[in-house]
Amino acid sequence: MNAPIVSFNHVGKTFDVDGFELEAIREFNLDIAEGEFVAIVGSSGCGKSTLLRLLVGLDRQFRGQISVDGKAVTGIGGERGIVFQEHRLFPWLSVADNIGLGLVNEPLSAAQKHKRIHDFIELVGLGDFARAYPHQLSGGMAQRVAIARGLVASPRILLLDEPFGALDALTRQQMQDELLAIRARAKITTVLVTHDVEEAIFLADRVVVMEPRPGRIKQVVDIALPHPRHRSSFDFHQLREELLHELTSDGHYQPPVPVQVRDLPLSFIAY
Ligand SMILES: Nc1ncnc2c1ncn2[C@@H]1O[C@H](COP(=O)(O)OP(=O)(O)O)[C@@H](O)[C@H]1O
Ligand SMILES: [Mg+2]
C-alpha cells in the first residue's frame, strides 16, 4: 500500500468533566489510503465526533499522533474539510456567502473566490439558490450547502459527521447518491461518521466498528461490493446483519436519537 494520507497512531483522548476524567477514546489506530472512503460506525457517545474533531485540528489535546501526508496535525488546514450533522449555516448569510466561509483562509482573489463558490453551488445542484437564505431552504438543500462549504477549498480529505442524520429517508438516499457522484468527479479521501449501518455499507470501502466506554475499535470490515450497490442484494443484506451483530452483541448499542436541524449559535467560530 502507498503511504497513507491519514494515519492515527495510538490516539487517545480524555476529557475532564467536573474534575472527573472521562476516557473518550482509547488506542485508536487506523491508516487511510488516498482516495479511500472510510465509514466509522458506533453508538452514541463512542467518540466518533471527537475523532473527527481531532483529525480536523479543532482539538489539539490528545495522546498519540495523527498525521496527514506524514505531517502531524497541529491545527485546521485547507486540505481537510468538514461537514457537521447540523448544517451550521449562518441564517443572515446567503447560500453563496455561507459557502464562501469555507474560503476565508485561502489565498485567492475576490474574483477567484466568486468563481469557486459558484462552481460548487452548481456541483451540489443549487444553481438557482445562490442568493437564497437558509430559512428558504429544505433540510436537504441546507445540507448540500454545508457539503459545498466543506468542499469549496478543494480539500483532499473530506470529513463528514453524520451529515444526513436529520434528513428524511428519501432525501437521505438521494444525498448518499450525490455524495458518491461528487466523489466520482473529485477523487477525494472521505471519512464518514454515521450510526447508520446501511449508509456505511452503501458508501464505504471500509467500515470501522467502534465500541463505547471508552471508545475503541471493535472491528474493521472491508466492503468489497462493486458500485452501484443495491440495498436489497443478498451480499448487502449479509453485511448489514454482520455489522449490526457486531454493534449490538455487547448490549451497548443505543439506537440514534433524532436530531433537530437548527442554526448555528453565534459562538461557533470554526469557519
Ligand atoms: N467537550 C467535551 N467535554 C467533555 N466530554 C465530552 C466532550 N465532547 C465529548 N465528550 C464525551 O466524550 C464521549 C464521546 O463523545 P462524542 O465524540 O461526541 O461521541 P459520538 O460522536 O460517538 O456520539 C462522550 O461520553 C461525550 O460525553
Ligand atoms: Mg457525534
Asked, for residue 258, whether it belongs to a domain, the answer is: no
With a 6 A CB cut-off, is 49 part of the ligand 1 pocket?
yes
Q: What separation in Å is there between the alpha carbon of 56 and the centre of ligand 1?
A: 16
Asked, for residue 28, whether it belongs to a domain, the answer is: yes
- Note the ligand closest to the C-alpha atom of 165: 2
Stated length of the chain? 271
- Looking up residue 40, the CATH number of its domain turns out to be 3.40.50.300
Asked, for residue 259, whether it belongs to a domain, the answer is: no
Dist. CA 54–CA 35, nearest whole Å:
20
Asked, for residue 265, whether it belongs to a domain, the answer is: no
Residue range(s) defining the domain that contains residue 50: 6-220+235-248
With a 6 A CB cut-off, is 15 part of the ligand 1 pocket?
yes
Grouping H, G, I as helix, E, B as strand and the rest as coil, residue 202 is helix
Asked, for residue 186, whether it belongs to a domain, the answer is: yes
Asked, for residue 260, whether it belongs to a domain, the answer is: no
Residue 237, C-beta contacts closer than 8 angstroms, at least 6 positions apart: none
All three cell numbers of 126: 443549487
Q: What is the position in ligand 1's atom list of the atom closest to the CA of 53?
A: 17
Question: E-assigned strands of the chain?
Answer: 6-17, 20-32, 37-41, 63-68, 71-72, 80-83, 157-161, 189-194, 206-211, 216-222
Q: Running DSSP on this structure, what letter comes out for residue 215?
A: B
Nearest protein CA to atom 12 of ligand 1, as residue: 24
Q: What separation in Å is there between the alpha carbon of 46 and the centre of ligand 1?
A: 7
Q: What is the position in ligand 1's atom list of the atom closest to the CA of 46?
A: 22
Best probe residue, ligand 1, of 11, 14, 15 (max atoms within 8 Å of C-beta): 15
What's the structural domain count of the chain? Answer: 1
With a 6 A CB cut-off, is 214 part of the ligand 1 pocket?
no
Tens place of pLDDT per residue across the chain (271 aa) = 678 999 999 999 999 999 999 999 999 999 999 999 999 999 999 999 999 999 999 999 999 999 999 999 999 888 999 998 887 899 999 999 999 999 998 999 999 999 999 999 998 889 999 999 999 999 999 999 999 999 999 899 999 999 998 888 998 998 899 899 888 877 899 999 998 999 999 999 999 999 999 999 999 999 999 999 999 999 999 999 999 999 988 766 666 665 554 444 433 333 3
